[in-house]
Amino acid sequence: MTILVTGSAGFIGANFVLDWLAHHDEAVVSLDKLTYAGNLANLQSLEADARHTFVQGDIGDQALVAELLEKYQPRAVVNFAAESHVDRSIHGPEDFIQTNIVGTFRMLEAVRAYWKGLSGEAAGTFRFLHVSTDEVYGSLSPTDPAFTETNQYEPNSPYSASKAASDHLVRAYHHTYGLPVLTTNCSNNYGPYHFPEKLIPLVIHNALAGKDLPIYGDGQQIRDWLYVKDHCSAIRRVLEGGKLGETYNVGGWNEKANLDVVHTLCDILDQEQPRADGLSYREQLTFVKDRPGHDRRYAIDASKLERELGWKPAETFETGIRKTVRWYLDNQEWVNNITSGNYRDWVSKQYQ
CB nearer to ligand NAD: pick between 153 and 287:
153
> Amino acid identity, residue 51?
R
Burial of 22 (0-12, 13-18, 19+ CB in 10 A): exposed
For ligand NAD, how many residues bind (rule: CB under 6 A)?
30
Is there a catalytic annotation at residue 32?
no
Residues numbered 59 to 118 that lie near ligand NAD (CB under 6 A) are: 59-60, 80-84, 99, 103
Which of 89, 166, 249, 258 is in the footprint of ligand DAU by CB under 6 A? 258
**Bridge-partner residues for 248, per DSSP?**
184
- Residue 187 in contact with residue 226, Cβ under 8 Å? yes
Q: How many CB atoms lie within 10 A of CB 350?
A: 17
Q: Is 159 one of the catalytic residues?
A: yes
Choices 32-40, 47-55, 171-179, 321-329 (CB under 6 A): range interacting with ligand NAD = 32-40
Q: Is 38 in the site for ligand NAD (CB under 6 A)?
A: yes
* Alpha-carbon span 142 to 66, nearest angstrom: 46
Separation between Cα atoms, residue 56 and residue 9, nearest integer Å: 10
Stretch that binds ligand NAD, among 58-66, 111-119, 257-265, 310-318 (CB under 6 A): 58-66
Handedness of CA 35, 36, 37, 40 (dihedral sign): positive
**Closest separation in Å from C-beta 286 to ligand NAD:** 23
Q: Residue from 88, 205, 223, 231 that binds ligand DAU (CB under 6 A)?
A: 223
Give yes or no for a contact between 21 and 45, defined as CB atoms under 8 angstroms apart. Answer: no
Binding mask 133-162 for ligand DAU (x = CB under 6 A): xxx---------------------------
The interface mask with ligand DAU, positions 100-139, x = CB under 6 A, is: ---------------------------------xxx----
* Beta strands at 222-227 and 255-257: parallel, antiparallel or unpaired: antiparallel
Q: Is residue 86 a contact point for ligand DAU (CB under 6 A)?
A: yes
Helix, strand or coil, per DSSP, at residue 347? helix
d(CA 349, CA 111): 38
What whole-number distance in Å separates Cα of residue 76 and Cα of residue 56? 19
Task: Catalytic residue, from 135, 167, 197, 255: name it.
Answer: 135
95 is catalytic: no
Q: Report the partner that residue 221 touches, choosing among ligand NAD, ligand DAU, none (CB closer than 5 to 8 A by kind).
A: ligand DAU
Sign for the CA dihedral angle at 117, 121, 123, 127 comes to negative
Residue 103 near which of ligand DAU, ligand NAD, none (CB within 5-8 Å, type-dependent):
ligand NAD
Nearer to ligand NAD, 33 or 237 (CB): 33
Residues 72 and 2: beta-carbon distance below 8 Å: yes
Whole-number Å distance between alpha carbons of 170 and 174: 7
Alpha-carbon separation of residue 336 from 112, 209, 242, 311 (angstroms)? 41, 11, 40, 36
| 134, 224, 255, 295: the active-site residue | 134
What positions carry a catalytic annotation? Answer: 134-135, 159
Binding footprint of ligand DAU on the chain (CB under 6 A): 84-86, 133-135, 187-188, 198-199, 202, 214-216, 221, 223, 258, 291, 298
Binding footprint of ligand NAD on the chain (CB under 6 A): 6-7, 9-13, 32-35, 37-38, 58-60, 80-84, 99, 103, 131, 133, 163, 186, 188-189, 195
